[in-house]
Amino acid sequence: MSKKLFIVVGLLVIASMALAACTPETITVVETVVVEKEGETIVETVVVEVEKEVEAAPMEEAAGAECCDAYRIALFEEPVSLNYWNYLGPGSSVWTQYVVSGQQAALFNLSDVRFDFITELASAIPEPVDNGDGTYTMTVEMIEGATWNDGEPITAHDYVFTFNACKDLKLTQNWPNQCTPAGLEATVTAVDDYTVEFVFLNQAPSLGNWQAGLALAPILPEHYWTDKAAEAYAFLDGVAAPEVERPEDCEAEDADADVCGAWASYDEAFTNARTTLYEADAADAPSAGGYTTDKWEAGAFVQRSAVDTYFFKGAEIVEFEDGTWQLTMPDGTVYQLYGAGEGEETLRYTNGPYSPNIIFSLYGSQDAAFLALANGEVDYVMNPLGLSRGLREQAERGEGITTYTNADYGMFYLAFNMTKFPMSEYAFRQAFDIVIDKEFVVNSVLGGVVFPMYSTMPPGNGFWHNPDTPKPYVGLTRAERVDMAVQVLKDAGWSWTAEPFWDEDLQDVVPGEGILGADGAEIPEMTILGPGPAYDPIRATFNQWISEWGRELGMPIQSELTGFNTILGPVFIDADYDLYILGWSLGNVAFPDYFESFWHSRNCTADTGNYNTPCLKSDEYDALVDEFMATGDLARAQELVYEMQVVLADLRPYVPLFYKQVHDLAHSRVVFPYSETLGGIEAQAGIQTDAQVMLSK
């Protein structure tokens, strides 16, 4: 699930080169600065014509090689679809992300490495206008000249079309944050071809609904999708919401059949509309990025081809230690944010694309993919999973293999379906949390290749991670864990015909028998869904140990290891599961809006199809998230995220299991524009547009 929707990166110059000529030239500088006025942080934009020494962009070369060859990347799972609507909807697989990455447009973006809020197709960062009636207006001027790869211009009408489709069709999963973030009501209008006007109707612009919401929303090509979207809209002709309130439970004996039927028909119309759009053929969809995905042979490969007309091709990006971000377009226009360009340069690169093609080869397992790297069949492996030390060392023995190590921005977790008994019971979730000995699995079973996780924010994102999130069970012995879990369940009214206990003579647990929930409720058979060992041995290992510890408590629970794509339907579409183990790549480093997407009650998957898969419904948590998404005060936002981590640690819709350190392995002939970044190269989808793959001699 990435909020970095449009990747614009380039080449970090690493080879020696001749001095470039400098000539005086009048250029346009669009400079945005942050200033303090009357105690508030204000963004101001200045556009000026200046006489400046312009250094011609140098030619990049790597010693002893010539650029550029095809970029060959290994995958070990199929993408779900090439349809971008589907990708941000029910097909939101990381494998899909890799092959559609960067093909959409956006008004704004996050800078690489530092993740600053920057312009993309917007010409400047606008200031909100208070209309005096509780509404606010934001007017965004777009740059002209950007086109889709079929030659059609990218305009304000494309943004409005995408926004309206998202809102009108009530798109699900990642989509609500693109058009109705945090329950925002807004209208978007194309004032002209290159001006977008936003009117915020029920909230002021904030970090959550603007910087992490509408500003970063994807733009899809209206001219390509109009007819396909019309087929989806057709299901909504004449459809209106019933005038009576939606019943809470249509399964109840006293439910009004007519009212429930009316709402069921209404919901079915939207389901059919969304499904039509999600399943539309998008094999030839235009791209706004450096590559377009143009071939997919199922089970074999996916191919992307370079877009020579990519608007930002040849643009140069420089970052300075004073916080300045600067983009210089090939025509000399300079966009500069957050500083005066003082101090040392921390980053300098030129946008591609460089490789004529990107070839994703599909392998059946992680082992096979890294063997292909070691044998020189591919240049890089997309690996969103943990990596065992043995497999890494085996791959590193391949000729010319380089390893890049970074902190991760992801989370692997156990989730409970809180709409079902007994997962709905607080004591059940607490007991499971107690018996899950993360330290044992990580250190004694897995050899320390991953790290135990105790909070829903990875420690690698230091600004937002709360180091004081409670972790009360660390260091407990097996006997202490069993005794404590049994007592928690007994205090909640659970019972056994034979209670589980730790046998000192056996030095093992004697499992419980005949378990009953509070008030004598029978415990149903349960499964923990999760990827199998060929796909991810680490999650498979956790799954099997957790299932065993559950059975020790007398729980009728089994581990169900299956294919990754097989899990998506029961979890993210049908919301019909007991427990599951998966992982998230958490996206927006600068503003973690996933705290709203994953756990706010309005995003319950069973109700809306969105990403609150456990269906946590907590007034306390919702209030914290609502304030978090509405605030413009970064310090207060941090306080709220700290509080939310504590509340989630108590309510346990997820039990965080582990996070990993990212080890990106690539052939040395691949020259990346940068390699030090939170989440690693994999989190940037392999930096496809701007990696240079040197021709082998």
Phi/psi of residue 433, each to 5°? -60, -40
Contact 350, 11 (CB under 8 A): yes
> What mean pLDDT do residues 131-148 have?
97
User: Is pLDDT above 60 for 520?
Assistant: yes
What is the pLDDT, as a whole number, of residue 251?
83
Q: pLDDT-based confidence at 340, cuts 50/70/90? A: very high
Contact 108, 118 (CB under 8 A): yes
Q: Select from 584, 533, 588, 583 the least CA-distant residue to 563.
A: 533
pLDDT tens digits, 269-311: 999 999 999 999 999 999 999 999 999 999 999 999 999 999 9
With b for 16 or more beta-carbon neighbours within 10 A and e for fewer, the 349-383 pattern comes to: bbbbbbbebbbbbbbebbbebbbbbbeeebbbbbb
Q: What is the spatial distance between Cα 59 and Cα 396, in angstroms, rounded to a whole number?
A: 31
What is the pLDDT, as a whole number, of residue 364?
86
For residue 508, the cross-strand partners are: 503
Angle 686-692-696 from CA coordinates, rounded to 5°: 115
Residue type, 409: Y
Q: pLDDT-based confidence at 17, cuts 50/70/90? A: very low
Please, which residues have CB within 8 angstroms of residue 172's CB and are 6 or more apart in sequence?
89, 90, 274, 608, 609, 610
Q: pLDDT-based confidence at 6, cuts 50/70/90? A: very low
How buried is residue 397: exposed, middle or buried, by Cβ count under 10 Å (0-12/13-18/19+)?
exposed
Number of Cβ atoms within 10 Å of the Cβ of 299: 8
What is the pLDDT, as a whole number, of residue 633?
94
State the fold for domain 410-586+654-660.
Dipeptide-binding Protein; domain 3 (3.10.105)
- Provide DSSP, 491-524: HTT-B-SB--EEETTTTEEE--BS-B-GGGPBPP
Q: pLDDT-based confidence at 564, cuts 50/70/90? A: confident
Q: Select from 332, 346, 341 the least CA-distant residue to 32.
A: 341
Q: pLDDT-based confidence at 24, cuts 50/70/90? A: very low
User: Is pLDDT above 50 for 103?
Assistant: yes
> What mean pLDDT do residues 549-572 have?
94
Q: Select from 339, 414, 446 the least CA-distant residue to 656.
A: 414
Contact 103, 287 (CB under 8 A): yes
pLDDT tens digits, 193-249: 999 999 999 999 999 999 999 999 999 999 999 999 999 999 999 999 999 999 888
User: Is pLDDT above 90 for 171?
Assistant: yes
Torsion sign across C-alpha atoms 145, 148, 152, 157: negative
> What mean pLDDT do residues 546-556 have?
97
What is the pLDDT, as a whole number, of residue 254?
85
What is the pLDDT, as a whole number, of residue 231?
97
- Name the residue with tokens 């600053």: 116
Query: To the nearest whole number, what is the mean pLDDT of the chain?
Result: 90
What is the pLDDT, as a whole number, of residue 159?
98
3-state secondary structure 397-436: CCCCEEEEEEECCEEEEEEECCCCCCCCCHHHHHHHHHHC
> What mean pLDDT do residues 160-186 have?
95
What is the pLDDT, as a whole number, of residue 697?
57
Please, which residues have CB within 8 angstroms of residue 626's CB and are 6 or more apart in sequence?
182, 183, 600
CA 226 to chain centre: 27
What is the pLDDT, as a whole number, of residue 294?
93
Share of the chain above pLDDT 70, in %: 91
Q: How are beta strands 450-452 and 105-106 bridged, if at all? A: unpaired
Contact 613, 575 (CB under 8 A): yes
| Structure tokens given for 18 | 């001749």
Q: What is the pTM of this model?
A: 0.84
Lowest mean pLDDT among 189-193, 308-312, 446-450: 446-450
Boundaries of every domain in the chain? 410-586+654-660
Q: What is the spatial distance between Cα 397 and Cα 692, in angstroms, rounded to a whole number?
A: 23
- Provide DSSP, 3-20: S--S---EEEP-S--PPP
The alpha carbon torsion through 336, 341, 345, 349 (nearest 10 deg) reads 20
Q: What is the spatial distance between Cα 366 and Cα 76, in angstroms, rounded to a whole number?
A: 6
Q: What is the spatial distance between Cα 155 and Cα 691, in angstroms, rounded to a whole number?
A: 28
Lowest mean pLDDT among 243-257, 309-323, 676-690: 243-257
3-state helix, strand, coil in the chain (%, to 5): 30, 25, 45
Q: pLDDT-based confidence at 253, cuts 50/70/90? A: confident
How far CA 68 is from CA of 312, 356, 671, 674, in Å, comes to: 18, 7, 10, 17
The single-letter DSSP state of residue 525 is: P
User: Is pLDDT above 50 for 13?
Assistant: no
pLDDT tens digits, 386-405: 888 899 999 999 999 999 99
pLDDT tens digits, 638-670: 999 999 999 999 999 999 999 999 999 999 999
